[in-house]
Amino acid sequence: MPIQMEDIRTKYGLPPHEEILAALDNGETLPAPFYFAPEIHRLEQEQIFAKSWQYACHESAVAKPGDYAVTRAGAVPIIVTHGRDGELRGFVNVCRHRLHAIAEASGNKPLLQCPYHGWTYGLDGKLKTAPRSQREKKFDCSTISLEPVSVERWDQWIFVNPDPAAEPLSSFTNDIRTHSDQLNSDLREYEFQVRYEYDMNCNWKLWAENAVECYHCPTLHKSSFGKTYHTSPDDYTVDSTDHTIWHDGPIKWLPGDVDPAGLEGFRFAFTFPSSFFALDDYVGFIGSVQPVGPEKCWAFVDMYAKPGADPIIVKEWLDMWDRTLIEDKKATDIQQIGYNSGRVRTGRLLLDSESPLQSFMRTTVNALAM
């Protein structure tokens, strides 16, 4: 049954769409129920994650014919394949028989076989064989295929959108390309090091909002990110539009008292709703945050290092980023308790320092069309 907007507003006492946007313009945050209401979580799955471009994997995961990579876009399980014809394709990772996953992990095979009952598909998604199907009248394998999704490259990154008729990825990223093209060009040369994964007891928006502002960096990350980079408002730059957010700031500290003068520093890009990538002179990363439930989310971050970079600094930087992200997890988990309390309806932003939050929240509200 479709979610009724009026029912959500009535149940949680939410104002109309236009009033929420006006409150955002005045520096208020989204109302607290946006961060715990099951109905809003379900609506976000339908209106945001089922219709948005999200990072899936590095190009190396699907570099050869037969390669396939398993990922998710919100509640939608997805498999990206590299066909024998060289084409990348994406499908809902669900067998058309009884909806078991076609693959549970990435790999390389000439055909995709569901481990439940053995239905077998080509890398183009078409059903090739189904055991015992010859005993069925009017069963025609050629009429059955995996459900398609949209797939595009963004330089070395593979993005997916569950909507098979999605607008091109570039229509959402054009306004950040002047920054990100140079960032991605540098990051292409970096070498994979480790994947960090984090399970959070908070709504996905809390974690994303934390990622797109650095007002918290001098306090929450004073011995990690805040120690490593200049984060004052005069040094740290933020820029935001409806679907993309950009940060950059200089390095202020290196192990062994190495002078950071002349280094390019930290650069960070976020694409709504969930993907982010960053780079400095030593390490880089790309990752995604995904909702698991109204008050739970999961994030992964693939870490890379610049070839030839000082291994002492690389190790320090990898450890620093893990500490930083663990600090973020702790903070957003505690925030969730505050949102659940029911005693504080909205927060109050400092728009000079937290303008990306205002942009992120406005895009969320407009996507939900409340």
pLDDT tens for the chain, 370 residues long, are: 667 778 899 999 999 999 999 999 999 999 999 999 999 999 999 999 999 999 999 999 999 999 999 999 999 999 999 999 999 999 999 999 999 999 999 999 999 999 999 999 999 999 999 999 999 999 999 999 999 999 999 989 999 999 999 999 999 888 888 888 877 888 889 999 999 999 999 999 999 999 999 999 999 999 999 999 999 999 999 999 889 999 999 999 998 888 999 999 999 999 999 999 999 999 999 999 999 999 999 999 999 999 999 999 999 999 999 999 999 999 999 999 999 998 999 999 999 999 999 999 999 999 998 6
- Same domain as 161, residue 182: no
Q: Is residue 368 one of the residues assigned to a domain? A: no
- Same domain as 207, residue 92: no
- Same domain as 336, residue 222: yes
Show the domain range for 95. 55-168
Residues sharing a CB contact under 8 Å with residue 79, sequence separation 6 or more, in sequence order: 68, 69, 70, 71, 90, 91, 92, 93, 102, 103, 112, 146
User: DSSP E strands: which ranges in 132-190?
Assistant: 148-154, 157-161
Cis before 273 (ω within 30): yes
Specify the 3-state DSSP secondary structure of 193: strand
- Same domain as 150, residue 181: no
pTM of the full structure: 0.94
- Which bin fits 299, alpha (ψ -120 to 50), beta or left (φ > 0)? beta
Q: Is residue 20 one of the residues assigned to a domain? A: no
Specify the 3-state DSSP secondary structure of 142: helix
- Choosing from 168, 183, 213, the residue where a domain stops is 168
CB atoms near residue 312 (< 10 Å): 12
- Same domain as 318, residue 256: yes
- Same domain as 199, residue 157: no
Give the whole-angstrom CA distance, residue 82 versus residue 110: 10
- Same domain as 241, residue 115: no
Please tell me what DSSP assigns to residue 48. I
- Same domain as 194, residue 337: yes
CATH code at 195?
Answer: 3.90.380.10
- Choosing from 168, 183, 203, the residue where a domain stops is 168
Rounded to the nearest 10 degrees, the angle between the axes of helix 204-211 and helix 351-368 is 140
Q: Is residue 74 one of the residues assigned to a domain? A: yes
Q: How far is CA 156 from CA 130, 180, 238, in A?
A: 36, 12, 24
- Same domain as 277, residue 148: no
| Total count of domains within the chain | 2
Q: How far is CA 360 from CA 140, 220, 243, 273, 357, in A?
A: 47, 21, 8, 8, 5
Extract the tokens encoding 246. Answer: 């950009």
CB atoms near residue 173 (< 10 Å): 19
Q: Is residue 349 one of the residues assigned to a domain? A: no
CB atoms near residue 185 (< 10 Å): 12
CATH code at 80?
Answer: 2.102.10.10
